[in-house]
Amino acid sequence: MNTPSLAWSDDLVIGVPVLDREHAALLAMFQRLADPDCAGDRAAVRALLDTLVGEVCRHFDDEEGLMHESRYPDTAAHVESHHLLLKQVNSFITLLDGQPDGWAAANISDFVGRWLLDHIREDDRRFAAYLIAKR
Ligand SMILES: [Fe+2]
């Protein structure tokens, strides 16, 4: 099942082009993960998850780098929420590894995709407003 709510939309733009591009690319990957053609193929799901985790880590590094550079006062709390998300993703991957079918893939796409949308709309937008005001 493709989850339309994971689609990129203008209300997700935070105004920092590098982060907007990365957010859009991550959402596209979560949508691919939820695609039934992929969800039924365990090896494809596992490979996509590995790629996705790598891309999420790279994105968090970029975002956190900008926070440190700009001395964003809420950096610690924001970084902590990134860590929590990665912990949850890794738990889902462990779950998937122990499951005979691909249900955990749709589950991870739904859960993490929604987390990402909320995170972009609230936490990332707050950081972007700070960064733009500082420039
Ligand atoms: Fe973030």
Domains in the chain with CATH codes? 15-134 (1.20.120.50)
Asked if 45 contacts 105 with a C-beta cutoff of 8 angstroms, the reply is: yes
Measure 9 CA to ligand 1 centroid, in angstroms.
17
What pLDDT shows up at residue 101?
66
Say how many Å lie between the CA of residue 101 and the centre of ligand 1.
Answer: 31
Is the pLDDT assigned to residue 42 strictly greater than 70? Answer: yes
Cα 126 to averaged position of ligand 1 atoms, centre (Å): 10
Q: How far is the CA of 41 from the centre of ligand 1 (A)?
A: 30
135 secondary structure, DSSP code: -
pLDDT at residue 1 tops 60 = no
Tens digits of per-residue pLDDT, 7-41? 889 999 999 999 999 999 999 988 888 776 766 67
* 88, two tokens: 């949850």
* Number of other residues whose CB lies within 10 A of the CB of residue 93: 19
Q: Is the predicted pLDDT of residue 74 greater than 80, yes or no?
A: yes
Put simply, whether the predicted model's pTM sits higher than 0.95 gets the answer no
